[in-house]
Chains A and B, each alone.
Chain A
Amino acid sequence: MTTTMKHERKYFGKRNRLDKPELLAPAGNLEKLKFAIHYGADAVYIGGQKYGLRSNADNFSFEEMREGVEFANKYGAKVFVATNIYAHNEDIEGLEDYLRKLEEVGISAIIVADPAIIETSQRVAPKLEVHVSTQQSVSNWQTVQFWKNEGAPRVVLARETSMEEIAEIKQHVDVEIEAFIHGAMCSSYSGRCVLSNHFTDRDSNRGGCCQSCRWRYDLFEDDRADAEDMEQKPALEPFKVGITQLPLFQEEQNPFTMSSKDLCMIDHLPDLVDSGVDSFKVEGRMKSIHYVATVTNVYRQAIDSYMADPEQYQLKPEWVEEMNKAANRPVNTGFFYEEPDHEDHIYEPEEKAVPYDFAGLVIDYDPETQLATVQQRNHFKPGTEVEFFGPKGFFFKQTIEAIYDEKGNSLDAARHPLQYVKVKVDQPVKYFDMMRKKNR
C-alpha cells in the first residue's frame, strides 16, 4: 500500500532544459554505453584513453567513441567525455590533438576541471561543449556566473551543494546545472584530496585514486607537552616517543573512516525537478552493466512519470526495490537536505556483494516456441529463479526450466561465458532485455 502525499513545492529554480531534465548515465565501456542508452539515458559520459579520472576503467578508444556516438544518435542521445584531470605540465602536450579528435568523432561535450583544458578546448575544438566538472567544487552562484561568462554552457556542482543552494544558483544564473543524484561519493571536496598520493604515490587528481578514504584508521590524541611548555624546555625533552598517544576508541569499537554512504535521490525526484537542475547525473563508470541498466531504468521511469503528470506523481515501491537489487552500499541524500551526520558514514566492514547478478542477455525471442535466445553472463541452471527486465519497467519473474544449446541439446547448466542458450520464457521478451538472478 502506498500513502498519497501531495508534493509541496519548496524549491523554485528555473530549468534551462525546459522539456525535461536530462538523465546522464555513466558508461565505462562501449557495451555499458549501449545498455545505459537503451535503458533510458539521455546522455552518457565516458572516459577516453587520456585526461580522465578513472585510469583503471577500460576506457574508450576513438574508434569505440565513434561507434558509441553512432549508437547514441539512433536514440537521440549524447555522449560526453570526462576530461577531468588536473593536468601537470607534461600532460599539456598532445592535448590539442586529443580534443580535436573528440570533436571529430562526434562527442557533444567534455567534462573539464582544469582551466588549461577548458581554454584549449574552446580554441581548438569549438564545437565541443565545455561542462565544468565537479572537481572544481563549484558551490556558489558567483562562481557559476564566472564559468558561464567564460563560455561554459553547463556547470556540474560540488556534491556539497544543498537543494536550497541549487535553487538559489538557478535564480541568479541562467546556465545549465548538472548535479549528482546517485552513486558513490568522495567524502572530500572533489579535487581537494591527495590521500592516494601520500599513501600509495598514485596521483588522485590524474586518475590514480585508490580510495584511501574507505580504509580504516585509528584515532589518537597527542598528549605530549603543548606548545607553551615547549617554549620553556629544551626542544627534545617533551617528546617521549610513543607513550603519550591516547587512543580515543576502545578495542571493540569500529575504527575511524572517511567512507561515505552512497547517494540515492529516487525518493526526492520532485524536489530535484523543482530546484531547476538540468541534468541528473548518475555516478559509476566502474560499475557493472547490471547496475547501470537498473539504475538508469528506474530514474527514467520516475522522471517520465513525474514530468507527464506532476500532480499525480507517486514514488513506486518497485522502483526502490529495483534500485536495491543493484546496490552494494547503504544510501543517503548527501548534502541535498542536511549535512551528513554520523549515520551517513560506513564504519562497519563493508558487504561487497550486490544482491543480484546479471545472468543473461536476451538476444532473440521466438513467439512460436516461446523460446528466448539468451547470451550467458553468469552461471544459471534449471531451477534457478530469475527475473527478466527491460526498459520502461518491463519485469517478470520465473524459474528456469530447461536450457538448450543452439543445436537443441539439453544442458544441465549455462556455464560458459557469453554462450548462446535457449530457455523457455513465461512472457515475450526482446533483444536487450536482461535476466538477473539472486546472488547465492
Chain B
Amino acid sequence: MRMSKKPELLVTAGSITEVQRLLQAGASAVLVGEPKYGLRLPGTMTVELIEEAMPIVREHHAKLYVAVNQLLHNDTMKELPNYLAQLECAGVDAIVYGDPAILMIAKDSAPNTKLFWNAEMTSTNFVTARYWQKRGASRMVLARELNMEQVQEMKRELPDMEVEVQVHGMTNIYHSKRHLLQHYMRHIGKEAHLEEVGIERKLFLIEQERQDEKYPVYEDEHGTYVMSSDDVCIIEDLKLLLEAGLDSFKIETLLKPLHYNETVVRVYREAIDRYAEDPQSYQFNEQWLERIREVQDPERELSFGFFYKEQMY
C-alpha cells in the first residue's frame, strides 16, 4: 500500500542558486534566512532574495521556511515586528523560532504564518513540545542529542504536531556570543577581523587528545560556533524514521559544497520515494550510502550521531 503522505525533505540553503538546485535535486522544503535573525545559515537570504525565491519554490510545489531562531537582545526587538511582517507578506510558509519573544511578536506581525519551534539542543521532550504547541507552534524541531527511541517516541506522543528530525550533515555543538577566534588571534599577536574568521575561511579545531577529529569553527556577528567533527547520516536506518511517521527530514548543508548536498538530497529523495511507493517491500540500498561516501570528505566520519549512543549525566 502506498504511503498517504510523504515526509518532507528539508534543506538549508544560502542563495537563490542553492534553493533552485537543491529543489531540483529533490528537496521539498528549504530553510533560509539571514544571520541577524537566524542561526548558522549557509548564506544570507534577505527578504528581497526570499521574495525572489518564492516563485521558484512554488514552481516545485515546495515550502520555504525562515529561521528566526537567533538568541535575541533588546536592540533587535525594535526591528522584529517589521521583519516578521515582511516575511508574512512575502508568503513564506513558516517562521522558525527559538526565543519565545518571537511568539509574542508574531501574534501581531505575522498572525497567519506558521511557527516552528526550534531551540536547537534544548528541544528535548514532548511535554515541552506540547507547551509550545499550546502557544502557537505547529512543529517541533528535535534536538540532535536524542536517540532513536526518543525520536520515535516523540512522534507517538505528538500525533497532531509536526516533528522534524535531522537526518544528515553536521550539527552545531557550541555557540558563544564571544568572538573567540578574533580574541585568540589577538592573543597570539595577529590582528584579525570578522571577515577573516568567518565561515568561508574553513577553520577547524583539533582537541589535543583527539587528533583524528576536526571540529569546524567560525564566527559571525553573533559570536563563535563550533560544529561537530562527524556528519550524521541515517540513510541506512531511514526506514525506522519513515515508519515512525516523522514529518520532516532535514539535511544540514552548512559547510558543504553544493554538489555534495545535491548528491545527498538525491539519495534521500530516492529512499523516501521508494518507501512511499511500497513501504512493505522497501529495503535500504547499499548504493545509496556508496554514493554519499564517494563525495564525503574522508576526514569527516559519517556517523549515526546520537541515534544509537548512550549518554550519561
Contact = CB atoms under 8 A, between A and B. Distances in A.
B125 A194 contact: no
Contacts, number: 238
B127 A116 contact: yes
Contacts of B174: 188, 192-195, 213, 258
Interface in B75-121: 76-77, 99-101, 103-105, 120-121
B298 A342 contact: no
B166 to A, nearest CB: 13
Contacts of B284: none
B311 A169 contact: no
Given A87-B128, A89-B126, A231-B259, A146 B173 contact: no
A146 B97 CA distance: 14
B73 A139 contact: yes
A410 interface: no
A158 B154 CA distance: 29
Contact of A146 (B103, B150, B204): B103
A208 interface: yes
A395 interface: no
B1 interface: no
Interface string B174-203: 111111111111111000000000000111
A119 B125 CA distance: 13
A202 interface: yes
A365 B260 CA distance: 77
A139 B72 contact: yes
A256 B205 contact: yes
Contacts of A145: 101, 104
B74 A189 contact: no
B178 A137 contact: no
Given A206-B313, A227-B257, A235 B295 contact: yes
Interface in B202-221: 202-210, 214-215, 217
Contacts of A284: none
A88 B207 contact: no
Interface residues on B, range: 35 or more
Contact of A188 (B176, B203, B206): B176
A197 interface: yes
Interface in B32-84: 71-74, 76-77
Interface string B226-246: 101100000000000000000
28 contacts: A86-B143, A88-B124, A88-B146, A89-B157, A120-B127, A139-B73, A140-B101, A142-B105, A188-B174, A192-B71, A192-B121, A197-B306, A198-B229, A201-B312, A202-B312, A203-B313, A215-B208, A215-B209, A220-B206, A235-B295, A241-B298, A250-B188, A256-B180, A256-B205, A258-B180, A342-B182, A342-B183, A345-B178
Given A115-B131, A140-B77, A249-B188, 6 more contacts: A116-B125, A139-B72, A194-B145, A198-B228, A205-B124, A217-B205
Interface of B: 71-74, 76-77, 99-101, 103-105, 120-122, 124-128, 131-132, 143, 145-146, 150, 153-154, 157, 173-188, 201-210, 214-215, 217, 224, 226, 228-229, 257-260, 294-295, 297-299, 306, 309-313
Interface of A: 55, 86-92, 113-116, 118-120, 135, 137, 139-143, 145-147, 158, 160-161, 165, 168-169, 187-189, 191-195, 197-199, 201-203, 205-208, 212-213, 215-223, 226-227, 230-231, 235-236, 239, 241-242, 245, 248-250, 253-256, 258, 260, 335, 339-342, 344-345, 347
